[in-house]
A and B are shown apart, each in its own frame.
Chain A
Amino acid sequence: MLGEAIIKGLAVTAKNFALSYVSPERLVTIQYPEERQPLPEATRQFPFLVYDGDDPHAGLRCVACQICEKECPPQCIYIVKSKDKKPDHTGKPQFYPAVFDIDLSVCMSCQICVEVCPFDAIKMDTEFELSTTDRFAGLLYHKEQLAKSNAYYHKIHPTEAAEVDARLAAERAKVAAKPRAASETKAAATAPAAPPALAPGAAVAA
């Protein structure tokens, strides 16, 4: 019969309309700014720098090794290495970034910087409402804006942060276990490109 399929189709729309009042399966719209969808833990938006403790400068994990700067596909990270050194979380003197800028308008949220960082210093944030009226400088984030505490990291990615903490604690334990034992390997251990897990022994404790 001509028009049979049209009636069948309309029955489907009618069913969807009626059921949208009862079944959450069919009622999927969220009134965004007021209502928010819970984000999965793996969500990633833009990178931030992690610091331990309370002081964003003293606790900053980044040692300015510039691996992420080299690996970032659109080249949106800009780092200037410091002249002096400060102790890192194991107490070893390390460089720190005098300047660490990320141009978030270029960043494509690919997470490669996070994967290549050997020091667990850069992680992905879940913040996405970053719109600004300043076209050029507004999205160029500096070290001060990028540095966020480890507590914040635990809040947004609890599982991942716990793993990272365990890894760092193991590293610190290793350093504490053999103080000054391997001072001759200092040169190798402080070579910035060597990931700490592979660095032989430990360096001088501060």
Chain B
Amino acid sequence: MNAGSDTQPTRHQVRPKPNREGDWLEVSMGPQHPSTHGVFRMDVVLEGERVVRLKPVFGYLHRNHEKIAEGTTYLGSMPYTDRLDYFCSMTNNWAYALAVEKLAGLQVPERAEYLRVILAELTRLQNHASLCGFLLQDMGAMGTPLMYAFREREKILDLFEAISGARMMCNFMRFGGCRCDAPPGWLEQARRVVDNFPRFLDEFEALLSENEIIMARTQGVGVLPRDLAINAGVTGPMLRASGVNYDVRKVDRYGIYDRFEFKVPLGEHGDTYDRYMVRILEMRQSVNILKQALADIPPGPVMDPKAKLRGFRPKPGEAYARIEAPKGELGFYLISDGGPNPYRYRVRPPSFINLTVLEDMCLGHTVADVVVILGSVDIVMGEVDR
């Protein structure tokens, strides 16, 4: 439709051609499809096996998170953020806590910063491990890689339970620190898990990374061009798989990320295989960060003494804080009018925005590839629909 000009890139779209009657078939994929990772629906128009149009349909899991948050206290929204991306409650907590801390001007003690980094990187490990497992499962590697990934994830969830009391809905971070200190022996246990993780990664890679079937199914499938990725606002491993060096941990250096030595893995082709490999490499980098953080963590308090639990009212103003969540840039935007609850509360969910390029990646591929491409986007519907 767009004519295009010198400055405006032309965006060609596949449109239904006046074809032979009955050549096109519109299929509703989901919301109960096992490969759509939750209640997600795609309106797929097919020509034979090939996708000519794809329309994502969201909203089946809409829970009114933002509006509810405007009606509850700041603290009361914290457990709700766990339920955004329920794989990564720790990073969600952190992003929200960071926004409120900016708003209220709270200082986070050293030990709490280290705990946050440790927990966020553990979250990244378990999220990427299970994503890789799910991706391989979507390609037909039924069960085995996923179960190996879950076995490893379970050890990390045990750590979460020991420190916060819950495996997935941790609700652990508070404005100005963390809710409690790590119990005795926790750091040793974490060190053991982290030290053993590379062994699992080697094994996981030996299992399937070089497999001919996997390569045939993923290389060159679902290519996301660099420019499109930037223009669409895609973030996280998806953006880096397209070769863009952008990691909020490096760009913003929030928390204490400037103290750690780590690299940002980049892909080259932007296809599904790159997205898979970038995540594997990111896990290896996370292990590096974790080793440094677990070695350096100082003793001390975990809560800002100025922080208040009851009757918390930040002064009027606005704040946006973002972090590199496992799925991409997770941001919270808050406006305070001085009351006990935010005047405006907005979440920038990475997987929702990453999902907007799904059609561009899927066009021309087969239905079986759509499943794989969707798997490589790494979505969690709790976050997409909110």
Contacts and interface: CB of A to CB of B under 8 A. Distances in A.
Interface of A: 2-6, 8-9, 11-13, 16, 25-26, 28, 39-44, 67, 71-73, 108-112, 115-116, 118, 124, 159, 195
Interface of B: 72-73, 75-80, 82, 144, 148, 151, 154, 158, 161-166, 169, 171, 179-180, 183, 196, 203, 206-213, 309-310
Given A16-B148, A73-B80, A110-B79, A40 B162 contact: yes
Given A43-B166, A71-B310, 5 more contacts: A40-B165, A72-B76, A73-B72, A112-B75, A116-B310
Contacts of A71: 73, 75-76, 310
Contact of A108 (B79, B154, B179): B79
Contacts of B213: 6
A187 to B, nearest CB: 20
In the A-B complex, the 7 residue pairs with the closest CB atoms: A110-B79, A44-B165, A5-B210, A40-B162, A73-B76, A42-B165, A5-B211
Interface of chain B: mostly helix, strand, loop or mixed: helix
Contacts of A13: 144, 207
Contact of A9 (B75, B77, B82, B211): B211
Interface of chain A: mostly helix, strand, loop or mixed: loop
Contacts of B212: 2-3, 5-6
A80 to B, nearest CB: 22
Contacts, number: 85
Contacts of B310: 67, 71, 116, 118, 195
A28 to B, nearest CB: 5
Contacts of B79: 73, 108, 110, 112
Nearest to B152: A28
A103 to B, nearest CB: 16
B76 A42 contact: no
A12 B202 CA distance: 10
Nearest to A27: B151
A28 B169 CA distance: 22
Nearest to A124: B165
Nearest to A160: B180
A13 B80 CA distance: 39
24 contacts: A3-B212, A4-B210, A5-B211, A6-B211, A6-B212, A8-B206, A12-B207, A26-B151, A28-B154, A39-B161, A42-B161, A42-B164, A72-B76, A73-B77, A109-B166, A110-B79, A110-B169, A110-B171, A111-B165, A111-B171, A115-B179, A116-B75, A116-B309, A124-B165
Contacts of A118: 310
A8 B183 CA distance: 41
A167 to B, nearest CB: 15
B207 A43 contact: no
A41 B311 CA distance: 29
Nearest to B203: A12
A39 B167 CA distance: 11
Contacts of B210: 4-5, 8
Nearest to A3: B212
B163 A42 contact: yes
Nearest to A72: B76
B183 A41 contact: yes
A9 B207 contact: yes
A147 B154 CA distance: 33
Nearest to A126: B165
B206 A9 contact: yes
B161 A43 contact: yes
A18 to B, nearest CB: 14
Nearest to A117: B310
